[in-house]
Amino acid sequence: MIAVIGSSNIDMVINVDDFTLPGQTQKGLELSYYPGGKGANQAVTAKSLGRDVLFLTCLGNDGNAQMMKRELEAIDLGNGIRYVDSPNGVALIEVSRSGENRIIVYPGANSRLSPDIIDDSRESLLKADILLLQNEIPFESSLYAAKLFNEAGKTVIFDPAPSSGIDKSILQYVDIITPNETEMAELTGHNLGIEDATAKLHEMGCGNVLLKRGNKGIFFSGRSKSLVVPAFKVRAVDSTAAGDVFNGAFACSLDRGLDLRVSLRYASAAAALSVTRRGAQKSVPRNEEIESLLGE
């Protein structure tokens, strides 16, 4: 079983030719609304790929929250929802024709996911063997959850996104940290190469570093070995949630008992497929599609 503690947002996505420049006004090509949030994206991925998942999240008191509730309950992920008196979380996403994105997140109800709420769900959460965390809820809550699962001997996977406001003390409770290149630089220093940055994270206490490098593939560094997994070549349409799909699929493969290299390739294939379609949770591929791409 996989536990996910994290955010639920409604993604307001506007497609443009190129990113809007400071002082520039341009017409959008398309406006769409999708269920999103890093926590929800990872939970939906893991659930869609066949694992038992408990998703602890906070929803607000508005129409966006009702939309999110319907989406989560439709795939049997409503058992960990907590409702708070606040607008729901929202992400404003600009997507260029090349498939790149820029995102502004308004946390809303996500900011109310407190350590007390986690503690109230302790018994149910600790039935899971793997915990997925991100950084779109209060950091003190992520730290509390990481310590709780670490002390229970569970596997903690932490996605440091967004990378602001992270206290490095969390790393001693994290088994695998999964930054992208921007987040890695913000955590360790902008002038470090991959190996030096990875070594710095190890020194801070994290045993395993999984660096997501987009179309350049995956670099994994553990205390005893390193692995490089090439990216799958696809035509990108929208990279929104690709990292979340990766984390959800990676946790699924580990939860099935598969080894590290197999799990990294499986997650890489899932993320590659996700960028070929629009939206966050709507872009999660089926297991058969992943296996087909791996077979190619």
Q: Sorting pLDDT into bands at 50, 70 and 90, what band is 139?
A: very high
Which residues are designated catalytic? 244
User: pLDDT by residue (tens digit) across 222-231?
Assistant: 977 889 999 9
How confident is the model over 81-109, as pLDDT tens digits? 999 999 999 989 898 988 888 888 899 99
The conformation of residue 92, written as its DSSP 8-state character, comes to E
- β-pair type (89-95, 101-106): antiparallel
Which among 286, 195, 293, 193 is positioned nearest to 245, based on CA atoms?
Answer: 286
Domains parsed from the chain with CATH numbers:
2-7+38-85+110-295 (3.40.1190.20)
116, 110 contact by CB (below 8 A): no
CA distances from 250 to 27, 28, 125, 222, 275 (A): 38, 34, 19, 16, 16
Question: How far is the C-alpha of 91 from the C-alpha of 74, rounded, in Å?
Answer: 21
| Close Cβ partners of 199 (under 8 Å, ≥ 6 residues apart) | none
Three-state DSSP state, 99: coil
Mean pLDDT, rounded, for 162-171: 91
- Give pLDDT tens digits for 227-286: 999 999 888 887 778 999 999 999 999 999 999 999 999 999 999 999 998 877 878 899
